Amino acid sequence: MKILAIETSCDETAAAVVEDGRKMLSNQIASQVEIHARYGGVVPEVASRQHLLSIIPVLKEAMVEADVGWQDLAGVAVTIGPGLAGSLLVGVNAAKAAAMAHNLPLIGVNHLEGHLYANWLGDKSIDFPVVCLIVSGGHSGLVLVRGHGDYAVLGRTRDDAAGEAFDKAARILGLGYPGGPAIEQAAKGGTVSIPLPRAWLKGSNDFSFSGVKTALLRLAEAGKISSAADAAASFQEAVIDVLVTKTVAVAKERRVKQVLLAGGVASNAMLRQRLAEKSPLPVLVPPPILCTDNAAMIAACGYYRLQAGKTNGLDLDVTPGLKLS
Ligand code: KG4
Ligand code: ZN
């Protein structure tokens, strides 16, 4: 069963075809990163216009790469939120048009649930229950997954998301945009030598990263940072320390079978390595290209929703503030 999916929640115009929720037949991503880098972050108006220009070519390319025609598809999945309203609208309208014209089921997908389902792409076996650490630019959360579509959010960020913290730290250190890869790269040439605070929020599974970011900002303002590489390494260490410690604690407490990692920050090699080292349970992580925004993960999620009979009508709308529940 082949699903075509569209993802336009932020600054990536993406389309993909996935078979049976696991086999990736195509994965097209048109990134706008170079356009937004000029402004030091995503400009929503610019993003939606760019999606309009890219959506049809990207969609066609995904079908060509997968070697499928409309008659081969079982449904059209699309990200409905969370994300930028104007960006989401482009994808949702394209998906509606395709579903209507070709009489295919329409499946609205939560972007965060999509990140989780990147773990299903490939042939790794996943045994429920699992705990998944979802760390992206807009969200950080610890989610207990009991079965397909059966979630309990155990912890979330109280302020900055992990990716957002990386982006802000990179800006403070003048390392450019997007911040995550820039910090990771700079940290390779530095040592963890600057003491930075960790918000443990004892007794809670929530996260908070605004304190560590502010501490870095104060040091920079006081002219106390002599090496951006050391600062990047110290910052990365502080964030990863909290993410890994909390994830491992929750996984033990909940007696899950596996630990999953997802979202853009999950492409960080140090985070992947540290979690694998510290976790007594098997850790599954998608390849880096499936951690950052893509449509294959939306197709994977869409497949399981379709299997569960969760389809939507043509009145499907975007929900920019959608939560995982
Ligand atoms: O999941 P994603 O592609 O988009 C959202 O849904 O937000 O995540 C993007 C975030 C950005 O904040 C980016 O800086 C961060 O993921 N990121 C990283 C790395 N690659 C991307 N953070 C740390 N290390 C990386 N290698
Ligand atoms: Zn994302």
Q: How far is the CA of 247 from the centre of ligand 1 (A)?
A: 18
The 73-81 sheet, strands edge to edge:
23-31, 12-19, 2-7, 73-81, 106-110
pLDDT tens for the chain, 325 residues long, are 999 999 999 999 999 999 999 999 999 999 999 999 899 889 999 999 999 999 999 999 999 999 999 999 999 999 999 999 999 999 999 999 999 999 999 999 999 999 999 999 999 999 999 999 999 999 999 999 999 999 999 999 999 999 999 999 999 999 998 999 999 999 999 999 999 999 999 999 999 999 999 999 999 999 999 999 999 999 999 999 999 999 999 999 999 999 999 999 999 999 999 999 999 999 999 999 999 999 999 999 999 999 999 999 999 999 999 999 8
- Rounded CA-CA distance 283/148 in Å is 18
Pocket of ligand 1 (CB under 6 A): 10, 136-138, 163-164, 166-167, 178-181, 184, 263-265, 267-268, 292-293
Candidate of 166, 177, 236 to mutate for ligand 1, largest count of ligand atoms within 8 Å of Cβ: 166
- In this prediction, residue 109 carries a pLDDT of 98
Superfamily of domain 2-118+290-307: ATPase, nucleotide binding domain (3.30.420.40)
Query: What pLDDT was estimated at residue 252?
Result: 97
Residue length, the chain? 325
Tell whether pTM > 0.95: yes
- Ligand 1 atom with the smallest distance to the CA of 137 is 7
Residue 269's CB is within 10 A of a number of other CB atoms, namely 10
Render 120-158 in DSSP notation, one character per residue. GSSS----SSEEEEEE-SS-EEEEEEEETTEEEEEEEBS
Residue ID of nearest Cα to ligand 1 atom 8: 264
**127-285: what fold?**
Nucleotidyltransferase; domain 5 (3.30.420)
**Cα–ligand 2 centroid distance for 140 (angstroms):** 11
Residue 225, CB-side half-sphere exposure with 13 Å CA sphere: 25
Are both 2-118+290-307 and 127-285 of the same fold? yes
Distance 263 CA to ligand 1 centre (A): 7
Show me where the domains of the chain are located: 2-118+290-307, 127-285
CA of 296 to the centre of ligand 1 (A): 17
Can you give the pLDDT at residue 40? 87
